[in-house]
Structure 1
Amino acid sequence: MSLAKQLLLLVSLFFFLIVAVNLVLSIGNIKSYLEIEAHSHAQDTATSLGLSLSPYMSNPNDPILKTMASAVFDMGYYQEILLTDATGKDIVRLSNVKTVAGVPDWFIASLPLLPASASSEISSGWMISGTVYVTVNTAFAYGKLYRQAQTAFVYAAESLGVSVVLLSLVLQITLKPLKNIGCLAQKITEGHFNTIERLPWTSEVRSVALSMNSMSKKLANTLEALNQKLAVMGESIRHDDASGLYKKSVFDTDLLRIQEDHRPAYLLVVKIDRLQDLVKELPAVTIDCLLRSSADLLTVLSEQYTESVVRCYRFYGGEFAMLLEIQHAEQVADIAKALSTQFAELGGRYARADIVHMGAALVNPLGSSDSVVQAAYEAYEQARLIGANSYFIRSHNDFARDISGWKALVFDCIDQANYSLTYQGQISCFVNQQLLMEEAFANVRDQQGQLTPIGPFVSIAEKYAKIIEFDKGVIDLAIAYIRNQAIQHAIAINLSTRSIKSAEFGYWLQKLFKNDADLAQRLVFAVSAYAVAKDVAAYAEFFSELQQVGGQVMIKRFDTYSLPTEMIKKLRPNFLRLSRELSEGISQSRQKQEFIEALLQLAALLDISLLAENVHDDADYQTLCAIGLTGASR
């Protein structure tokens, strides 16, 4: 029960007691007044009647005695009039018990009135000749008392009603600041650090409001500082210390994005030949200078292509790479030719005329990332056969003809529900080592029974609007698995962007959870950080609507390169699963540990569980446990 209702009930009860006591006292006073008035009236009547009968008392049988007594008695206000002679013998006795309609019996029983009686002696000369007794009928007093009680009760009820209404309004006005403070506290727990602009006038409540405003501002500043710290640290983690270029892990993410988006691009591998021999011959400082100079050549050349997206990476040792979002092989050849000339000049400084070779390959959106890298390295081997500082470009597109085959496979598998699920990536809770979550992976086989790469399958399904049907089928299989095996942990299911944006799919999912609320605790819908970053508003809306019906969501492969940390506050997922790069080697990297610790503080403020995946090294696993993550998979 709310504070306003409690105060209203308490004060209303207090007012009711006051009104009730006042009503009882008022009716009691009226009753006493009526009793006194009735006794006075009886005495006046007895005295007046005695004086009127006095001249006729000499003859007790005189009919005028009864006539005069009846004249008074017939007025109806009297219960009994008795006239006796000096010896006490009855001369005239008139009796009548009259009730007044409209007075309930319970009222008469609750407020008994004693009949008021009075007497007056009648004298004839100096002798007492008789006595007259008058008893008033209480029916009239009850009628008047009942009407007065009704009037008093109506006024009391109206007063109580008006008081309660006014009290309710006063309480609403008085307690509105407390309600605003409660709403602010709820907003803070949700990660929205607002403040109360109109401060209450009550000093105590005003003090609380000021404290809440101060706390909200401090939390907002802390969150902002954490976001800035994470952005700086995340940027530092992505870059190679020796060359300043992006690391191999960033390359893997960028290549996957290009394939998912079907953007035309080339991969150019640049490799310094016989670096191991140079390390033996030259000082470490000279080798570092060579690597830095090589990286600078790539960076400067990439900055010249403002109309295209060109990114540079360092893999290992003297192996570099460039992702060129360029459609034509001629442009790639121009870049490779320029690099060949510049590296020839660089090699001359170190007395190495033949220092580098380069291989380029077209990015196949339907192939795996490894196949793209392998194609580029095969081109590099071809370049070594050509000549000093030469390059070779594999520009032929041998996968375009496969689109029709992929389309047929996708339609056939989805229409026939010819796919199954396996459950991998079991995440254990660090606190109790119990299974927290496992991820559902779809297995699709072609007509020969061979497993089909799921990446191209999903890409083609999304392109031809079959992905929503596929996502529904995967969810149905997972639900059947949960029910048949009585699964108590969560099952993570990957969703596509098209399903996220589909109102029909969202309605279907909400209806599913409303019909079986327990499923909401068993299913976790996973989306990649990169996909979320492309349409934060759509994903935030989906997250919010799903969480309102008890659903859970997880952003996977998270790093600040894919999704800025300030977006996490808007999205508010239930789980955040780190990219492998952030957890790999964390036991040996203080930089990564500090980054995860800062991210954990942010997650705690937003009530988000932080997870890691595929942690192979025991030392890394123990480090993540010590930092305070919720769980990790091995």
Structure 2
Amino acid sequence: MRPGVSLRTKIYGLVITIAVIAFACSLWLSIDNTRTYLNEQMQSHAQDTATSLGLSISPYMDGNSPMVVETMVAAIFDSGYYLSMVLTDADGRELLTLENPVEIDGVPAWFIRYFPIQAPTQLTDINNGWQMTGQLAVTSNPGSSHDKLWRNARNNGYLSVFIGGVALALAHLILSSVLLPLHQLEQQAMAVTHKQFATITPLPSTRELNTVTQAMNSMVTNLQTSFTQMAMHAEKLSSDAFIDPLTKLGNRRAFENQFIAQVGEMQDNDLATLGLIQLPSLQVINAKLGYEAGNGYIRQASEVISQALAHRTSGTLYRTGGSCFFFKVASAGATVEELCNHLHEQFSALYSSHYSEGFANIIATSYDNKQQLNPLVSQLDNLLTRESSTTGTGLVYWAPEQESQLQHANGLHQWGEIIDDLLASNQVTFMFQPVLACEGNQTSENVLYFELFSQFLQDGIPLANSELYAMAELLNKSLELDKMLLQQLLTIGDFKRDVTVALNITHQTVHSAEFGEWLEEFYQHNASNLPTLVLEISETAILASIDSSIRFIQQVKACGIQVCIERFGSSFTSFKYLRGLDVDYLKIDGSYISDLDENPGNTHVIQAASQVGHGVGVKVLATHVENETSLRLLEELACDGVQGNFIQPTKKLAPYSEKKQCQYWPI
């Protein structure tokens, strides 16, 4: 709900108030004037009656004809227009008194109370010649006057209401023609805050509104043009630095940066997979058929591998040059081995005389967060060389010794049981890391929010998060894990006042209509017991369906929850997708930042991404800040927030009493 009272409400309120006041005043004056007229009419009528009746009875006031006098007075009095008649002699003695009760039928008591009519009494002297023989007092009956006054007021009221209704209807038509363009301008301004650039057509006919609307349309068009230009500039910088021009995949630099960033995010018991694919027939095809045919061969291989990885949200493919492809999967074990065997079978099916040395060769292995890239690549290269020789054993996935020590030997069925047990037991703990605000190109002490990292336990032993979530996505159980994490926040209960915390939401959850409905109900019942929330969504999940992501973000924002797109720029796609996404934060992918001190050329991409974010009113955050040099560069690039081990390493979320060497603490 938007704060404040709308202009429409104020104008209509003013018009109705003026109309009501004018109606009330007009009706009051009409009633008062009518009452004055009726009072004067009764006074005149009473005086005329007293005078004429006095002349009529004067010959009979000698005391000899009392019955004649009484008959004549009673004849006039019985008409009902008089409240009383009193006849006295010359000495003031009452000779005759006639009275009628005050009866006012059909007139509300409140009307009589607020608009009283005083019954006038008129006197006349009765003379017989030059001698005064008596006096007659006539008092009019106010009942009929009250009745006339009430009927007049009621009729005037009905007429006033009718005229007022017609006037308000005309005012509504006129005001609507004026307020509609203002409403359109308001919607246009709201759309801009939601990163949408809509223009108003047709233009209003009112001169002033026409001018304002044209100005707003021009401003919105300029904003859209500026955003498009910044997005294209950022896209070009990113493409030149990190995209293979032939396949549009990430190049060697992108591969190395993202590998380093991923290893930095892995927990001690996490394993991931790195695969190497080579095209052995590329050199022969280039020599015999030309480079265009060789390029077609590379593109075909890229499509085959990409399609196989498309079913795994955690899989990423790179072309590092020539005939060499690498792929990363954020899990290891049996399911990845199945993927490698599937690719090997596809490569074998594509083998023909056209590819004299074979279509493609594949080898993959798992790695942990202690693994260095160069030794791992050398190991894969040696394994692939061995398997490509005549002594090869057909190996496509090599499991090092550490893999057997973890849970990665589990198949999908076993992982399903593990996840079900987790959902039933709620065995999860949290780690946290602060995101500090940058103010005036300098890091402040203010915490934008604390990012929470989940750590699931099986019999007290931490599970590998990367493998767990990869399996949960395949089993369609990640939605339930996300619900569980939100519910677990309620059990913490002692967050600092006004603290904001962030949780990562999985791909499946973002595109689930069920979760939006569940979240609305959950937040409605538990908002007072929760800290302010930020939901972090990966760029990959957003790009999977922009329309679905927009609907999800709208549902989340309606609950008062903020949204952050994490790994911004990791997909090397156009930043134009931000248009229409009502998000609060963009967290630049760590691959641009982790080696910023060694590759200052990344600053151009970060600056361009920052300008794109600021161009649509979104705060830009930088993660993986590992040293002071990177921090100072990010401050100069006008980032709004920073996060990383240099700021504060990840800590276990525990009571404040257990705080150790930690400056920023959420509870």
Normalised by the shorter chain, which TM-score bucket? 0.7 to 0.9
Provide the rounded CA distance (Å) in 2 between the counterparts of 1:57 and 1:445: 122
Q: What TM-score results when the alignment is normalised by the length of structure 1?
A: 0.75
- Does the C-alpha gap of structure 1 residues 626 and 405 become closer, same or farther in structure 2, counting only changes over 3 Å? same
State which drifts further: 183-192 or 325-334. Answer: 325-334
State which drifts further: 511-520 or 417-426. Answer: 417-426
- Residues 237-256 of structure 1: CA deviation (Å, up to 9, x unaligned): 21599xx9923333665999
Provide the rounded CA distance (Å) in 1 between the counterparts of 2:531 and 2:255: 34
Provide the rounded CA distance (Å) in 2 between the counterparts of 1:536 and 1:18: 55
More helix by share: 1
Structure 2 residue aligned with 1:250: 255
CA contact (8 A) 1:78 1:135 kept: yes
Structure 1 residue aligned with 2:122: 117
CA contact (8 A) 1:436 1:490 kept: yes
Structure 1 residue aligned with 2:218: 214
Cα root mean square deviation, aligned: 4.6
- Residues 550-593 of structure 1: CA deviation (Å, up to 9, x unaligned): 23333222216444211122433332221223224546766533
State which drifts further: 462-471 or 54-63. Answer: 54-63
Matches within 5 A, 1:617-632: 617-632=627-642
- Residues 191-228 of structure 1: CA deviation (Å, up to 9, x unaligned): 11111113222222222222211111111111111111
SS in 2 for 1:571: coil
| Higher RCO by CA contacts (8 Å cutoff, separation 6 or greater) | 2
Structure 2 residue aligned with 1:459: 470
CA contact (8 A) 2:566 2:586 kept: yes
Provide the rounded CA distance (Å) in 2 between the counterparts of 1:12 and 1:61: 68
Query: Which of the residues 308, 311, 319 maps onto 1:312?
Result: 319
Query: Which of the residues 441, 445, 454 maps onto 1:433?
Result: 445
Provide the rounded CA distance (Å) in 1 between the counterparts of 2:446 and 2:113: 76
1:604 aligns with 2:614: yes
CA contact (8 A) 1:554 1:574 kept: yes
State which drifts further: 611-620 or 521-530. Answer: 521-530
CA contact (8 A) 2:62 2:133 kept: no
Provide the rounded CA distance (Å) in 1 between the counterparts of 2:84 and 2:432: 105
Structure 2 residue aligned with 1:205: 209
- Does the C-alpha gap of structure 1 residues 267 and 253 become closer, same or farther in structure 2, counting only changes over 3 Å? farther
CA contact (8 A) 1:497 1:531 kept: yes
Provide the rounded CA distance (Å) in 1 between the counterparts of 2:82 and 2:458: 113
Query: Which of the residues 93, 100, 112 maps onto 1:107?
Result: 112
SS in 2 for 1:327: helix
Q: Give 1:164 shift.
A: 4.1
Provide the rounded CA distance (Å) in 2 between the counterparts of 1:392 and 1:627: 54
Give, as a single letter, the amino acid of the residue that structure 1 aligns with 2:98: S
SS in 2 for 1:363: strand
Matches within 5 A, 1:29-178: 29-57=33-61, 60-61=64-65, 63-81=67-85, 87-88=90-91, 92-102=95-105, 104=109, 107=112, 110-119=115-124, 121-124=126-129, 127-128=130-131, 130-139=133-142, 140-178=144-182
Q: What TM-score results when the alignment is normalised by the length of structure 2?
A: 0.72
Q: Give 1:65 shift.
A: 2.8
Gaps of 5+ in 1: 271-292, 340-358
SS in 1 for 2:613: helix
Query: Which of the residues 223, 226, 229 maps onto 1:225?
Result: 229
- Residues 310-345 of structure 1: CA deviation (Å, up to 9, x unaligned): 86326xxxx994349963566799999879xxxxxx
SS in 2 for 1:313: strand
- Residues 585-619 of structure 1: CA deviation (Å, up to 9, x unaligned): 54676653333233223222433222122122311
Q: Give 1:438 shift.
A: 4.3
Provide the rounded CA distance (Å) in 2 between the counterparts of 1:114 and 1:263: 107
- Residues 276-297 of structure 1: CA deviation (Å, up to 9, x unaligned): xxxxxxxxxxxxxxxxx9xxx9
Structure 1 residue aligned with 2:652: none
Structure 2 residue aligned with 1:529: 539
Provide the rounded CA distance (Å) in 2 between the counterparts of 1:527 and 1:534: 12
CA contact (8 A) 2:438 2:639 kept: yes
Q: Percent sequence identity over matched residues?
A: 20
1:327 aligns with 2:327: no
Gaps of 5+ in 2: 263-271, 281-285, 304-317, 328-339, 646-667
Matches within 5 A, 1:322-361: 322-323=325-326, 327=344, 361=362
Give, as a single letter, the amino acid of the residue that structure 2 aligns with 1:309: S
Q: Give 1:624 shift.
A: 0.7
Structure 2 residue aligned with 1:378: 379
Give, as a single letter, the amino acid of the residue that structure 2 aligns with 1:107: I
Structure 2 residue aligned with 1:501: 511
Provide the rounded CA distance (Å) in 1 between the counterparts of 2:381 and 2:391: 6
CA contact (8 A) 2:77 2:85 kept: yes
Provide the rounded CA distance (Å) in 1 between the counterparts of 2:43 and 2:157: 27
- Does the C-alpha gap of structure 1 residues 518 and 29 become closer, same or farther in structure 2, counting only changes over 3 Å? closer
Structure 2 residue aligned with 1:290: none
CA contact (8 A) 2:596 2:602 kept: yes
Which has more radius of gyration? 1
Provide the rounded CA distance (Å) in 2 between the counterparts of 1:361 and 1:534: 27
Provide the rounded CA distance (Å) in 2 between the counterparts of 1:90 and 1:20: 49
CA contact (8 A) 2:194 2:580 kept: no
Give, as a single letter, the amino acid of the residue that structure 2 aligns with 1:462: E
Aligned residues: 574
Structure 1 residue aligned with 2:574: 564
CA contact (8 A) 1:575 1:609 kept: yes
SS in 2 for 1:603: helix
Q: Give 1:621 shift.
A: 0.7
